[in-house]
Chain A
Amino acid sequence: MSEPNQCNCGGDRRGFLKKILASAIGAVLTLVPAAAGLRVLLDPLRRKTAAGGAVLVTSLEALPADDVPRKFSVIADREDAWNKFQRVPVGAVYLRRTRGGKLEALNVVCPHAGCFVDFNAAKEKFICPCHNSSFAMDGKIADASSPAARGLDSLEVEVRNEREVWVKFQNFEAGKAKKIPV
């Protein structure tokens, strides 16, 4: 490239102003599309989980008072971006009735990394198939070497109309020692 014949168009001050102006306009040109894109990118941050009320999960007849946890699907309305689903499975819970008649509900999601735990009837424990966390029947961590930071998440459960089992279904942030609803 040949060296240009520098022109002194109006002196240094004018040149400086032009430099400032060109840079400023350049910044606007970059920022407008970038900001429009970033605003859309960050849109998920303003979304919140719809506060779910209690849902009917099963009846007491399906839940003998024998201490043994049983798994039930939770059917509720769900929203996925533009689609709305009515009465679809949104998760699952382990329910059990103790011999003393107490009703307990646990979310099946392992609080470590979110896998679904299995109930092993022989060992009387919940075992996570992913990283071997194990939980006692009441949901507490059974083995100190479990990578899970807390026990299985208990859920509010109540009996309505003498036989219907209603659970307030919620998911919680994985990996934390405290239960924080997502």
Chain B
Amino acid sequence: MKRILDWLDARVGWRKLTHEALYENVPGGARWRYAWGSTLVFCLMVQFVTGIFLWMNYAPSSQTAWESVWYIQNQVAGGWLLRGLHHMFAHAMIVLMALHLMQVVIDGAYKAPRELNFWTGLVLLQLVFGLSLTGYLLPWDQKGFWATKVATNLLAAVPVVGPALLKLVIGGTDYGHHTLTRFFALHAGVLPGAMIALLVAHVALFRRHGLTAKLPKRKPDAPFWQDQVLKDAVACLAVLVTVLFILVKPRLFGHGAPGIELGAPADPTEPFSAARPDWYFLFLFQFLKYFPGQSEVLGAFVIPGLVFGLIALMPFIGRWKLGHRFNVWFLFTLLIGAGLLTVAALREDGTNATYVTAVRQADRDAERVRELAGSPAGIPVSGAVTLLRNDPLTQGPKIFSAKCVSCHRFGGHDGLGGVPKDLQSASDLKGFASREWLTGLLDPTRIGTTNYFGATRHGSGKMVKFVTKKVAAFTPEKREQLGKVIVAVSAEAGLKSQREVDGREVKLIEEGRGLFVEGVGCAECHAFHKPDPDASGPDLTGYGSRAWLVKFISDPAHADFYGERNDRMPAFGKDGMLSAEQIGLVADWLRGEWYGAESVEALKR
């Protein structure tokens, strides 16, 4: 063994290299404050290792980016941990970089002859920001997509070359495949490459000039190995333990899966009011709010550029008497200012109802798409975004809250859990066509309430009169017959929630159908399984089924339904207010016809 090592040493000189690396002088002995640089190198190493393994599973295109990340997160053994480490170490780097910068400025380590050291450090800081920005987009989820869109759109504010620059960055006029391929090349190739080159220079210069000792020295000088190495290792371990703790926290405290979140897939047609940059850019985001109209370029480029320029000039400023104090003071003001801006941004969002609702909806969509992606049908080639677009549980409430709640309600709310501003003036459609819902409709004490016909023109119509007068006077025997008719009419809908009981009660349904025609008197106004030209009420054949509902929503004033008696309900299909797909989605949602989860509420954690 020794011979091999000697042979290698004669050619490589590793003994001298190791000696230099390990026996670097630490003036005044090992101290905790010297550990920041090492923690950053450690973070970078973790990012390289985890990044390369993520790379093996990641597919940058707008139909595969989110999907491959979902796969890493949910299907690959240990994928959540790998992605979690990469994500959290990126955050850790930002924090540690700020601490490293503070330590360098406070200790005056930026002064001559270490200017180049300082400047390479500043460029490294910019590179880390660049990696964060590009990495934020790669999962191609709503958050990353919209935040990046906002951030890159700022580029267009750059005078003269702005628009061209924007096109170059996003790879065309719109965000898509080429935005991802470019960002990925930057994130996994260009920026890390630049980073290695600069880090080598940064560390080499650091070695050349040695550590800047914190005066007064407490102890005699010591070599790097082993006291300082141990301190550095412990500091790195603390970073690692913190990151791991954050990652497994959800499991430890019993709320949800470990790891970090993955939002719903990016959908350029689905507005996302919860778009925010990551926390470390929030100060800049907040700062930009104070620059109206055309002056944005000031806030986005000029002022940050000047501030950064001033930081770069610190080595020169530090030469003057009081210059060092100015530098320290300036950096602290800057960090406190950024901190205050961040707090302001968070507080503003916290009280912003639109933002809070958007975040809630984003969480719901994220949860739902995870369920759909994991369903036996899986993710189609068109991408996971179509899963949500075609999902009645996701789209139904959205369409309902936009088009229906000016009159209707769903369980007392707008379908999404919100309270509509318009007063309820038509039926509550939760459980529409179910036995329960029909029982309420045929209840003399309930049909006249706003949850049924109370606030509509039908409030004084034949049906309400029939129920409040005739049904109210039913004998117990007739009442029992009515119950059977309800079962039969409800069975027309073929609701998922009643499929089992409908299947069990075939005889009862058959009986109810007979009683519909001869018994309780429904057939006097309604057609049922055979044409009735004299019918004045809606045809109840297939009542509440998908086809019936779609036809009804498309044109409630059709002769098969309310005809001329229609109240205010628009012909959503006939008049082109909703597409056939949208009407189908609302119908499916009202009927509870979707994959998985019980309800929208159930999606909320």
**Interface residues, chain A, CB within 8 Å of chain B?**
1-7, 9, 15, 18-19, 21-22, 25-26, 28-29, 32-34, 36-41, 43, 46, 79, 81-85
Contacts and interface: CB of A to CB of B under 8 A. Distances in A.
A43 B54 CA distance: 12
20 contacts: A1-B207, A4-B23, A4-B25, A5-B221, A9-B29, A18-B227, A19-B225, A22-B225, A22-B229, A22-B233, A25-B236, A26-B229, A29-B237, A36-B50, A37-B49, A39-B78, A82-B67, A82-B378, A84-B378, A84-B380
Interface residues of B, number: 55
A41 B56 contact: yes
Contact of A15 (B77, B226, B244, B377): B226
Name A's interface SS.
helix
Given A7-B222, A15-B226, A28-B237, A82 B78 contact: no
Interface stretch (B79-87, B188-196, B292-300, B524-532): B79-87
Given A4-B222, A18-B226, A36 B82 contact: yes
Contacts of B227: 9, 18
B597 interface: no
Given A32-B244, A34-B49, A83-B381, 17 more contacts: A1-B20, A1-B25, A4-B25, A21-B233, A22-B229, A22-B230, A25-B230, A28-B240, A29-B233, A29-B237, A29-B240, A32-B240, A37-B50, A39-B82, A81-B71, A82-B71, A85-B381
B419 interface: no
Contacts of A40: 53-54, 56-57, 72, 76-79, 82
B9 to A, nearest CB: 19
A29 B226 contact: no
Given A4-B221, A43-B78, A19 B226 contact: yes
B373 interface: yes
Contacts of B237: 25, 28-29
Interface in B226-262: 226-227, 229-230, 233-234, 236-237, 240, 244
Contact of A37 (B29, B52, B70, B226): B52
B36 to A, nearest CB: 16
A43 B77 CA distance: 6
B312 interface: no
Contact of B78 (A2, A29, A36, A79): A36
B483 interface: no
B68 A5 contact: no
B236 A29 contact: yes
A29 B222 contact: no
B379 A83 contact: yes
B223 interface: yes
Contact of B29 (A7, A28, A34, A43): A7
Please give me the 5 A-B residue pairs with the lowest Cβ-Cβ distance, nearest first: A84-B378, A37-B53, A39-B78, A25-B233, A4-B25
A153 B76 CA distance: 32
Contacts of B240: 28-29, 32
A83 B49 contact: no
B347 interface: no
Contacts of A3: 25
A4 B81 contact: no
A5 B220 contact: yes
B75 interface: yes
A25 B234 contact: yes
Contacts, number: 120
B24 interface: yes
Contacts of B67: 82-83
Contacts of B219: 7, 9
A33 B24 contact: no
Contacts of A26: 229, 233
B17 to A, nearest CB: 12
B93 interface: no
A172 B50 CA distance: 34
A24 to B, nearest CB: 9
A88 to B, nearest CB: 10
A37 B53 CA distance: 5
Interface in B259-289: none
A3 B223 CA distance: 9
A6 B222 contact: yes
A54 to B, nearest CB: 21
B452 interface: no
B385 interface: no
A3 B26 CA distance: 10
Contact of A83 (B26, B79, B380): B380
A22 B223 CA distance: 14
Nearest to A85: B381
Contacts of B230: 18, 21-22, 25
Interface in B203-224: 207, 210, 219-223
Contacts of B380: 83-84
A144 to B, nearest CB: 42
A38 to B, nearest CB: 8
Nearest to B237: A25
Contacts of A29: 42, 233, 236-237, 240
A32 to B, nearest CB: 6
A33 B210 CA distance: 30
A89 to B, nearest CB: 14
Nearest to B384: A82
